[in-house]
Structure 1
Amino acid sequence: MAVLSEVALAASTASSAAAFALTMLRIADRPPRRRRPRRRRRPPMRRVV
């Protein structure tokens, strides 16, 4: 199903963009007061061509 692969691709892109933004903020900001437990990352889904 093309829709599922597109949704998965969009989700992975959004999550990586969010992770990048969080990393930049964390680097630019002072050390966080409280570290949130890191969620386990799922292995990247294979992209269906």
Structure 2
Amino acid sequence: MNLKSHKLTIITPTYNRKDLLKKCFQSLMKQTCFDFEWIIVDDGSTD
């Protein structure tokens, strides 16, 4: 198994805020550092 190590881990907790996740994603794509992983923790959203 070959696991890649990232320079940055971004953890985003969310609950019924899909609109803000889209904005967060758009912001992440504008960054100059792309060596990151994004972990989204959903607390049982209904949206």
Shorter-chain TM range is 0.3 to 0.5
If the length of structure 1 is used for normalisation, what is the TM-score?
A: 0.38
Question: Larger Rg: 1 or 2?
Answer: 1
